[in-house]
Amino acid sequence: MNRLMGWILRAFRAFDWPLLLILAIFCILGTIVMHSAVGGTDWRFASQGRNFLVAFFVMWLVAVIPPSKIMKFAIPLYVVGVSTLVAVLMFGITSKGATRWLNIGITVIQPSEMAKIIVPVILAWYFDKHRSQLRVLDFLVAGVLLLLPFMLIIWQPDLGTALLVLGTGFFIIYFAGLSFKLITPVFVLGVVTIALVLYYEPVLCSPELDWVVLHDYQKYRVCTLLDPGSDPLGKGFHTIQGMIAIGSGGLYGKGYMQGTQTHLDFIPERTTDFIFAVFAEEFGLYGGVMLLLLYTLLLLRGFLITIRARTQFGRLLAGAMTMMLFMYVFVNIGMVIGILPVVGVPLPFMSYGGTALVTLGCACGLLMSISNYVPTRKSDTADE
């Protein structure tokens, strides 16, 4: 009996209660919006409920594992992650022109989703091991550790997931001490590239021009972003309908389950990529602002855990998980309102999908693990 009570107490202590409260609000809100998006309680609504339960269990399971134990599995996890990505290219399941899934016998997995967690873990471990004296070589090695899974995911192709993995890894490298002077030229080059693309858009988006580095559908996504009206009933349909739905919601929204764009099937992928358009149409500008404030609270809690982390590994990993959540929100809402190309990134805790919810649950579990971790050895706190 005493052992059972002790186990229960340890289970409750694993939770970061402010973070859990925010996630509970998201769970309730996501369930409500999903009910409207599917128009009732069909199989997707029931399935999403199961997805939330699985994500909660994964979050709790990760939360009870101390960061010191996670560090020990960093290399094996990375090897398994890269190996499965290679296996996808060799034996993967192809659907809709992309090879992203792997049948392991008992189930089908998407290794690129695992990479969102595995890559930050290996980079945080690497910089923690070399924290006493970082050299240029260390940043180059970290770049290789990041670019290997990034390129494997690009080849699937899965540009959205690849960019999330690249962005999360980059933030760890930056937090570890990468000089801002090295980032500035890359930033300037990016701005110049965007300006040139905008200026030469008619030439670059002509059908006969091959972009070489991108697939045709990825090229059309960029061109559709630049001019959605060029193909309003085809490749620009998603973006145009999403913006119409958001605009038609006005300040106060049309009311719960009263969205015409949603329930007349104008919004494509309304349960996944474009669920923000469903929410904004029914709850309006004020509802959208409140949702963004809730995401802000989630990010602030993540940053607070990052600041309070007691080890270098914990600080880097918590910062990466928080920035990953930010990128999810920024990319999804950006593509729905038409400032970013459509790349298939879900809205955290709102969009339908078990794989993404499990990944997000794992990320939040890592934040909770880091939040409650107290080092027991002097070597664990040497970096403070």
Q: Domain segments of the chain: what residues?
A: 17-64+236-384, 71-181
Tell me the per-residue pLDDT of 123-156, one tens digit each, with 9 for 90 and over: 999 999 988 888 888 999 999 999 999 999 988 8
> H-helix or E-strand containing 282?
helix 275-308
Cβ atoms of 69 and 56 closer than 8 Å:
no
Q: Is the pTM of this model over 0.75?
A: yes
Chain segment 356-371, per-residue pLDDT in tens: 899 999 999 999 999 9
What's the helix, strand, coil split of the chain in %, to 5? Answer: 70, 5, 25
Sign of CA dihedral 298, 299, 304, 305: positive
The string of pLDDT tens digits covering residues 66-85 is 999 999 999 999 999 999 99
Residues 172 and 123: beta-carbon distance below 8 Å: yes
Over the chain, what is the mean pLDDT?
85
Nearby residues of 47 by Cβ (< 8 Å), 6 or more positions away: 352, 354
- In tens digits, the chain (384 residues) has pLDDT values of 556 565 566 667 778 999 999 999 999 999 999 988 887 667 778 888 899 999 999 999 999 999 999 999 999 999 999 999 999 988 888 876 778 888 877 777 888 989 999 999 999 999 999 888 888 889 999 999 999 999 999 888 888 889 899 999 999 999 988 877 777 887 788 888 878 877 777 777 777 777 766 667 667 777 776 777 666 666 677 788 888 888 888 888 888 888 888 777 788 778 888 999 999 999 999 999 999 999 999 999 999 999 999 999 999 999 999 999 999 999 999 988 888 888 878 999 999 888 889 999 999 999 999 998 877 765 454 444
Upstream peptide bond of 375 is cis (omega within 30 degrees of 0): no
Measure the CA–CA gap between 76 and 86, rounded to whole angstroms: 15
Cα–Cα nearest to 331, from 318, 320, 346: 346
The rounded distance, in Å, linking the Cα atoms of 8 and 30 is: 28
Q: How high is the pLDDT of residue 377?
A: 61
Q: Determine the Cα–Cα distance for residues 76 and 247; give it in Å rounded to an integer.
A: 49
pLDDT at 1: 57
- Check if the beta carbon of residue 92 is closer than 8 Å to that of residue 101: yes
Q: What are phi and psi of 98, to 5 degrees?
A: -125, 140
Please say whether the beta carbons of 372 and 16 come within 8 A: yes
Are 20 and 297 contacting, i.e. CB atoms less than 8 angstroms apart?
Answer: no
Closest to 223 in 3D by CA, of 190, 241, 201: 201
Structure tokens at 156: 């699937």
